[in-house]
Amino acid sequence: MIMKNPLYLALLAFVLAACSEAPPPPAPLKVVRTLIVGAGNTENARTYPGEVRARHETTLGFRIPGKVVARLVDAGNVVKAGQPLARLDAADAGLQAAQAGAQAALARAEAKRYRELRAKNFVSQAALDVRETALTAAEAQAGLARNQAAYATLVADRTGVIVAVLAEPGQVVAAGQPVVRLAPDGEREVAINLPETEVARFAVGMPAAVSLWAQGKAAPALAGKIREITPLADPLTRTYAVRVALPGADPRLPLGLTASVRFPEVKPADGAALRLPLTAVFQQGAQMAVWIVGADNTLSLRPVTVAGLSDDGARITAGLTAGERIVAIGVHKLSVGEKVRLAEPAKAGVK
């Protein structure tokens, strides 16, 4: 009778169904990015983006005014010394050269006739001197006019790369007005900008390692050093322009390449304070704290003393020691005793 009880049968079916279900799989471990607190020059490094520039750049323009009738090069073209770059309308310059040449020919004939007359004592030496002086002036004027006509063609003064075009055909330019900017072959360097909070840590001659993004991560870094730090901040960005020389770089290294400049010997700005990313520190009640990753990847909470916060990180003066691993990102989604899986570790150090 018991086996025929509907309630008993339903309960038995529920128990059998529960026993047949497999246990749920364990929840996957959270993946966290960590960093190792350390000390030494490697951890003191700073990296800044930059751009490859020429050591010298020359702005070229016509030596006479006129209308541009032809531009023979474009930005990025490689040019040789003496190669034509642009031309002006040379009609007026040609007329002036013809006029000056005619006047010089007339003065030359006058001087010749007066020499013959002087030889026969028909004119005074003073009269001959006047004609000789007029001849000298006329020939000089003719030479100047010929030069002016030649200046109607702008030529490269050295071999290099055109980095900018500043005038177009049809434009009327003044004498000396920039037409093209030429970067000669030779020394290459990287231009970077330092924020005003960082510039005091750097000095001329400081070594740097320059990596070119176009060459990939596997390419060896180029050795460089700071050649110049401008003493005046940019009025808009409030940054200081810095030039990093590349003594051993190829003199034909393409201009404009994006570079990453790493300085391994930046002077600490705040004593022995540890500098951590802002994403690694969070507020726990009335105390700032970080997550410590144990040997078995188990998390524990560690209160720390923060001396100050800035755009480049938090300065920690107590609570951490070199060699400890902490969570760098995602600190608000973790709990004490939780096990995690580590992503690629990075290093942070004493600043």
Span 208-248, pLDDT tens digits: 989 888 887 777 888 899 999 999 988 888 899 999 999 88
| pLDDT-derived band at 346, boundaries 50, 70, 90 | very low
pLDDT at 120: 87
Is 16 a residue whose pLDDT tops 70?
no
pLDDT at 226: 93
Rounded-to-integer distance, Cα 59 and Cα 56, Å: 10
pLDDT at 216: 77
Separation of CA 303 from chain center: 40
Is 56 a residue whose pLDDT tops 70?
yes
Helices 91-119, 125-150: axis angle to 10 degrees equals 160
Show the domains of the chain with their CATH numbers. Answer: 31-44+271-349 (2.40.420.20), 46-55+186-263 (2.40.30.170), 59-89+152-184 (2.40.50.100), 90-150 (1.10.287)
String of b and e for 52-68 (b: at least 16 CB within 10 Å)? bbbeeeeebbbebebeb
Which among 27, 16, 17, 54 has a CA at the least distance from the CA of 227? Answer: 54
Is 350 a residue whose pLDDT tops 60?
no
Q: Please, which residues have CB within 8 angstroms of residue 7's CB and are 6 or more apart in sequence?
A: none
For 105, phi then psi, to 5°, come to -65, -40
Is 93 a residue whose pLDDT tops 50?
yes
Tokens of 284: 């726990």
Segment 186-212 shows an average pLDDT of 88
Segment 240-266 shows an average pLDDT of 84
User: Do 311 and 194 touch, CB atoms closer than 8 A?
Assistant: no
**Radius of gyration over alpha carbons of the chain, in Å?**
39
Which among 81, 310, 66, 52 has a CA at the least distance from the CA of 187? Answer: 52
Q: Which amino acid type is present at position 112?
A: K
User: Do 68 and 56 touch, CB atoms closer than 8 A?
Assistant: no
Q: Which amino acid type is present at position 136?
A: T
Is 314 a residue whose pLDDT tops 80?
no
DSSP letter for 280, please: G
Residue 315: CA count within 13 A, CB half-sphere: 13
Q: Which residues pair with 304 in a beta bridge?
A: 288
User: Do 202 and 217 touch, CB atoms closer than 8 A?
Assistant: no
Q: Please, which residues have CB within 8 angstroms of residue 321's CB and are 6 or more apart in sequence?
A: 37
Of residues 112 and 197, which shows the higher confidence score?
A: 112
pLDDT at 22: 53
| pLDDT-derived band at 74, boundaries 50, 70, 90 | very high
Which among 107, 89, 176 has a CA at the least distance from the CA of 143? Answer: 107
With residues binned 3-state (H G I as helix, E B as strand, rest as coil), the percentages for the chain, rounded to 5, are 25, 40, 40
**Strand, helix or coil at 230?**
coil
| pLDDT-derived band at 19, boundaries 50, 70, 90 | low
| pLDDT-derived band at 326, boundaries 50, 70, 90 | confident
